[in-house]
């Protein structure tokens, strides 16, 4: 393809030229997508309609479920349609929209997980000040700040990615993933995007450090609780969050610490599925299995 600033469209990863395998890909992604949307909608419904879950912790959890639905909805339906219609195309602006929205939702996820660590810290280490600190006005401001900041973050990344000249339009992934799109550049290193990436690394490390410090203080406090029942009750609200954070960071680490191959790779594809589809699916399941209040509300909803 002739060197140009923009390309009219991009070609996403072709799974197979065999129609039966394309239909298998559609079916697998359809099952994963429906399972993810259904489980997260159950969490949203439980928190929204049951007054027993009207607290800051579950308010944050409901927002996490909304962001998880958004993240998978940005990338999975287009991949399913391509397999069903036997095509690989995504428009230039469609690719830019995928990158912008996916980054927005993923960044919002991690930001909210950081906020939830602070919520658990205040609830366990400063229980007498919890209602005063984590009131509804403050929680609403936090959510607005997370969404606005991550919108700006997604916009910066998208501008940096699409300010380059492309020498090819073949993206070796099932959606427009930034590392794969940047590989198509024929204009060398983009300093703006490098600056955004460096800022991203600093922010992620800062959030990770904050989460670790929060749980260090939480565990110190829990160990000082005299009763076994009290310790178990305190930990029961922390274990799901720790598990969700661990899944999020581990899958992202596995996907991005490996340099993408120059040719289509099933390993790259598998790692991308790992970090983009599995956390949104597992998050509501983890919270449902480990949180007694959510289990009770969901079982009550199921009976009706």
230-280 per-position pLDDT tens digit? 888 888 888 888 889 988 888 888 777 766 566 666 777 888 888 889 899
161-200 per-position pLDDT tens digit? 888 888 888 888 889 988 888 888 887 667 777 788 888 8
> How far is residue 181 from each of residues 65, 72, 92, 134, 293, measured CA to CA in Å?
28, 19, 11, 41, 43
* Residue 249 · residue 275 · CB < 8 Å: no
pTM passes above 0.85:
yes
Helices (H) and strands (E) in the chain, counts: 12, 2
Beta-bridged to residue 185, according to DSSP, are 166
Cα separation, 111 vs 107, in Å, equals 6
**Cβ neighbours for 7, distance < 8 A, ≥ 6 positions apart:** 1, 92, 166, 169
Amino acid 231: pLDDT: 83
From first to last of its 304 residues, the chain has per-residue pLDDT tens of: 444 456 788 988 877 677 788 888 899 999 999 999 999 999 999 888 888 888 888 899 999 999 999 999 999 999 999 888 888 899 999 999 999 999 999 999 999 999 999 999 999 999 888 888 888 899 999 999 999 999 999 999 899 888 888 888 888 888 998 888 888 888 766 777 778 888 888 888 999 999 999 999 999 999 888 888 888 888 888 888 888 998 888 888 877 776 656 666 677 788 888 888 989 999 888 887 767 778 777 777 666 5
């Amino acid at each position: 393809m002739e060197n140009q600033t923009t390309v009219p469209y991009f070609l996403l990863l072709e799974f197979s030229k065999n129609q039966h395998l394309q239909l298998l890909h559609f079916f697998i992604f359809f099952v994963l997508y429906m399972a993810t949307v259904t489980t997260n909608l159950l969490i949203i419904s439980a928190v929204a309609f049951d007054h027993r879950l009207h607290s800051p912790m579950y308010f944050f959890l409901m927002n996490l479920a909304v962001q998880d639905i958004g993240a998978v909805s940005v990338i999975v339906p287009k991949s399913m349609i391509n397999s069903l219609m036997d095509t690989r195309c995504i428009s230039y602006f469609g690719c830019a929209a995928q990158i912008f929205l996916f980054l927005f939702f993923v960044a919002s996820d991690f930001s909210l997980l950081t906020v939830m660590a602070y919520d658990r810290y205040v609830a366990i280490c400063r229980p007498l000040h919890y209602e005063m600190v984590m009131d509804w006005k403050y929680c609403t401001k936090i959510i607005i700040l997370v969404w606005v900041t991550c919108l700006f973050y997604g916009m910066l990344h998208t501008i940096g990615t699409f300010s380059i000249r492309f020498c090819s339009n073949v993206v070796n992934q099932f959606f427009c993933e930034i590392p794969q799109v940047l590989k198509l550049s024929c204009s060398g290193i983009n300093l703006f995007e490098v600056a955004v990436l460096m800022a991203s690394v600093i922010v992620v490390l800062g959030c990770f450090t904050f989460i670790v410090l929060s749980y260090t203080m939480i565990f110190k406090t829990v160990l000082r609780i005299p009763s076994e029942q009290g310790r178990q009750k305190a930990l029961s609200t922390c274990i799901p969050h720790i598990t969700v954070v661990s899944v999020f960071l581990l899958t992202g680490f596995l996907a991005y610490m490996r340099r993408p191959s120059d040719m289509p790779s099933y390993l790259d594809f598998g790692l991308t599925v790992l970090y983009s589809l599995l956390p949104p699916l597992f998050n509501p399941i983890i919270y449902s299995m480990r949180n007694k209040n959510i289990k009770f509300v969901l079982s009550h909803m199921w009976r009706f």
